[in-house]
Amino acid sequence: MSSIILYTTVSLCATGIASAVILYLVARKFRVEEDPRIDRVEALLPGANCGGCGKPGCRGFAEAIVKANTLEGLCCPVGGETTMPAIAAALGLEASARVPRVAVVRCGGDRARRPRYSRYDGYISCAVEHALYRGESACPFGCLGLGDCARACAFDAIRVEESTGLPVVREEACVACDACAKACPRGIIELRDKGVKARRVFVNCVNRDRGALSRAACGASCIGCGKCARDCSFGAIIVENNLAYIDFHKCRLCRKCVSSCPTGAIREENFPPRKVELSRIEFEN
């Protein structure tokens, strides 16, 4: 009886040792050499796997950095101002400076200014609605308001406002990863430089129809009249296909265009209230 137990134990042990030796040899032979620096870089990254850097997840980004052995053109938009210098220090490389950016929603067609004529009751996705028809309003370029951008955001930085039907960006949470801009089937969202004190001036419309058509569809549309371009002292505004666009590299935030736009399609953000307006309010009171 005891001999059975003995044989079993011994043969099991022998099998175990033999397998261990085989496994050890196989592991030695087929070992994948991996740069230990990849793990170190990955540990420094935020781990959100958002794809904002253009690589498949944080691991992919770490591999790309180590392989390139330079930080030129490689940047983690999520990590803010700390991540890239930290990686540079860990690898002994030079960190390139980056201008902070933020996602900007370029549609001002809220429910009041852009009347809805029909009702969409299909699958809740802007991409599906966009592929099927022009949307509930008469504007074939404007925001559909079904929130593909909000679902794409990994940082809870964008959500669709119930009252206006338009997405709102929480600037402090936005890391400019570009996920919302890629998710938007109509290309309404754009990454723009955050600007001095986060101040920005931009055309809040992407409608490329002729003025009469876009005006009929929405009260807040750019009609391509070109007044802003003529008024701009810095040549920052170009009008193409009935639509004005402000180049944020050239814009000096003078806000002349904001007051000259006849439809109110140019939007200023994070500026202090205007003195002129204040005095007028006081006067009226």
Partner 1 sequence: MLKTFTLGGIHPPREKLSSGSAITPLPLPERVSIPLSQHIGAPALPLVKKGDRVKVGQLIGEAAGFISANVHSSVSGVVLNVEEAVDASGYARLAVVIRVEGDEWDDRVKQRESPDRYLSAYSREEMLSAIQAAGVVGMGGATFPTRVKLTPPTGSRPEILIVNGAECEPFLTADHRLMVERGRELLIGTRFLMKALGVEQAIIGIENNKPDAIAKMREAVAKHALGIKVCPLKVKYPQGGEKQLIEATTGRHVPSGALPISVGVVVHNVGTVYAAYEAITMHKPLVERVVTVTGKSLARPGNYLCRVGTPVACLIEAAGGLPGDTGKVINGGPMMGKALASTDAVVTKGTSGVLVIPVGEALRKPYRDCIRCTRCVQVCPMGLEPYLLMTLGEYQRTGELERERVMDCIECGACSFACPAYRPLLDVIRLGKSRVGQMIKSRK
Q: Does residue number 121 form part of the binding site for partner 1 (CB under 8 A)?
A: yes
Q: Does residue number 123 form part of the binding site for partner 1 (CB under 8 A)?
A: yes
Q: Does residue number 49 form part of the binding site for partner 1 (CB under 8 A)?
A: no
Q: Does residue number 127 form part of the binding site for partner 1 (CB under 8 A)?
A: yes
Of 118, 241, 270, 279, the one binding partner 1 by CB under 8 A = 118
Question: What is the Cα–Cα distance from 135 to 81, expressed in whole angstroms?
Answer: 40
Handedness of CA 222, 267, 250, 159 (dihedral sign): negative
What is the smallest separation between the CB atom of 210 and partner 1, expressed in angstroms? 8
SS3 269: strand
**Of 13, 65, 69, nearest in space to 39 by CA:** 65
- CA distances (Å), 20 to each of 9, 16, 156, in order? 16, 6, 49
**Are 44 and 83 a contacting pair, CB within 8 Å?**
yes
Question: What is the Cα–Cα distance from 22 to 13, expressed in whole angstroms?
Answer: 14
Tell me which stretch binds partner 1 (CB under 8 A): 15-23, 54-62, 127-135, 236-244. Answer: 127-135
* C-alpha torsion angle, residues 193, 194, 197, 199 (rounded to 10): 80
Instruction: Please name the residue that has the structure tokens 């890239």.
Output: 84
Q: Does residue number 148 form part of the binding site for partner 1 (CB under 8 A)?
A: no
**Hey, which residues between 149 and 168 contact partner 1 (CB under 8 A)?**
none
Give the residue with the Cβ less far from partner 1, 115 or 140.
Answer: 140
**Tokens linked to 112:** 């009041």
What is the smallest separation between the CB atom of 128 and partner 1, expressed in angstroms? 5
Site track for partner 1 across 179-218, x = CB under 8 A: ------------------------------x---x-----
**Are 236 and 246 a contacting pair, CB within 8 Å?**
yes
Largest CA distance in the chain: 109
Tell me which stretch binds partner 1 (CB under 8 A): 51-59, 77-85, 123-131, 220-228. Answer: 123-131
Give the residue with the Cβ less far from partner 1, 132 or 173.
Answer: 132
Q: Does residue number 57 form part of the binding site for partner 1 (CB under 8 A)?
A: no
Give contact residues for partner 1 (rule: CB under 8 A). Answer: 117-119, 121-123, 125, 127-128, 131-135, 140, 209, 213
